[in-house]
Amino acid sequence: MARIERLLITGAAGGLGRVAREGLGHLAATLRVSDIADLGPGKPHEEVMPCDLGDEAAVMDLVAGCDGIVHFGGVSIEGPFGPILRANVEGVYHLYEAARAHGVKRVFFASSNHAVGFHPTDAVLDGTEAPDCDGLYGASKVWGEQIARLYWHKFGIETARVRIGSAFPEPKDRRMLSTWMSHRDLLSLIERVFRVPWLGCPVIYGASANPSSWWDNGKVAYLGWKPQDTSEAWRAAREAEDPDPDPDDPAHRFQGGRFVTMPVCRVDGDGTD
């Protein structure tokens, strides 16, 4: 892709948005950073634009003048349907409509492993499998992946639909030995997504080179992305904390882990009824 003049980062006040804000300055002349939460002061190469993804007109203004989008904004865990509907369902539609209106050609969409959370942990997924979400949050990511695919077919907008595993400074539990993605590998994937001449609209599993991974990115080898990190350095510690996982526990049997046992929450309720 030609040089990016203005790259929009949504969710820029969140965990991964802050990592992207720090690590992607070299990728574009200007980073436009956006969130519903406080973004702090902008740096010289940044434009700070607060925005609620549920506000269609505001999203239209947000995307104007951008030529790439890293979409991290939205509800990032399982919870009541109201906020998920606004940010992850309506918000993604608003974002792609704005991308179409303003001629944005490439998007990094932060999908999630929870789009396929009910696949078993003894399966290896390569992006050709059917979605099998483990909750409302996962379902909203399936929606986002499908909107991305629709806007690829109808309008030629390229999207990397990245089913991120667990992107944290280090693997926090035994499951993350299989799902962990280092921040360095996340940043290098985003860079590849915006540098390759042709992207298309692939599913990519966002994980480091973990030997116990459940995912195979062979179908997107053409991207030339090679994760550098692995969770192995934490194996002994995480296994010692959880030495004997129950093989019948759904949180162990299915890739989504604890998400598969969480309640389905009412619109604004707490999921207890």
Q: Of 137, 151, 205, 222, which one is the catalytic site residue? A: 137
Q: Whose Cβ is closer to ligand NAI: residue 17's or residue 135's? A: 17
Structure tokens at 57: 């007109």
Q: Which stretch binds ligand 15L (CB under 6 A): 101-109, 111-119, 191-199, 222-230?
A: 111-119
Per CB under 6 A, the list member of 29, 37, 77, 237 interacting with ligand 15L is: 77
Altogether, the residues listed in the chain come to a count of 273
Site string for ligand 15L, 206-245 (x = CB under 6 A): ----------------------------------------
The amino acid occupying position 93 is Y
191 burial (CB, 10 Å; 0-12 / 13-18 / 19+) is: middle
Using CA atoms, how far apart are residues 179 and 122, in angstroms rounded to an integer?
A: 13
- Residue 36 near which of ligand NAI, ligand 15L, none (CB within 5-8 Å, type-dependent): ligand NAI
HSE, CB side, 13 Å, CA atoms: give it for residue 271. 12
Applying the rule CB under 6 A, the residues between 47 and 76 that interact with ligand 15L are 76
> Which of 203, 161, 210, 202 minimizes the C-alpha distance to 185?
210
By the rule CB under 6 A, 112 interacts with ligand 15L: yes
Is 137 assigned a catalytic role?
yes
The amino acid occupying position 189 is L
Q: Whose Cβ is closer to ligand NAI: residue 164's or residue 177's? A: 164
Q: Which stretch binds ligand NAI (CB under 6 A): 128-136, 161-169, 196-204, 265-273?
A: 161-169
Give Rg (Cα) of the chain: 18
Using CA atoms, how far apart are residues 207 and 183, in angstroms rounded to an integer?
A: 10
Q: Which stretch binds ligand NAI (CB under 6 A): 15-23, 127-135, 149-157, 256-264?
A: 15-23
Question: Does residue 59 contact residue 20 with C-beta atoms inside 8 Å?
Answer: no
Size of the site for ligand 15L (CB under 6 A): 7
Binding site residues, ligand 15L, CB under 6 A: 76-77, 112-114, 166, 179
Catalytic residues: 137
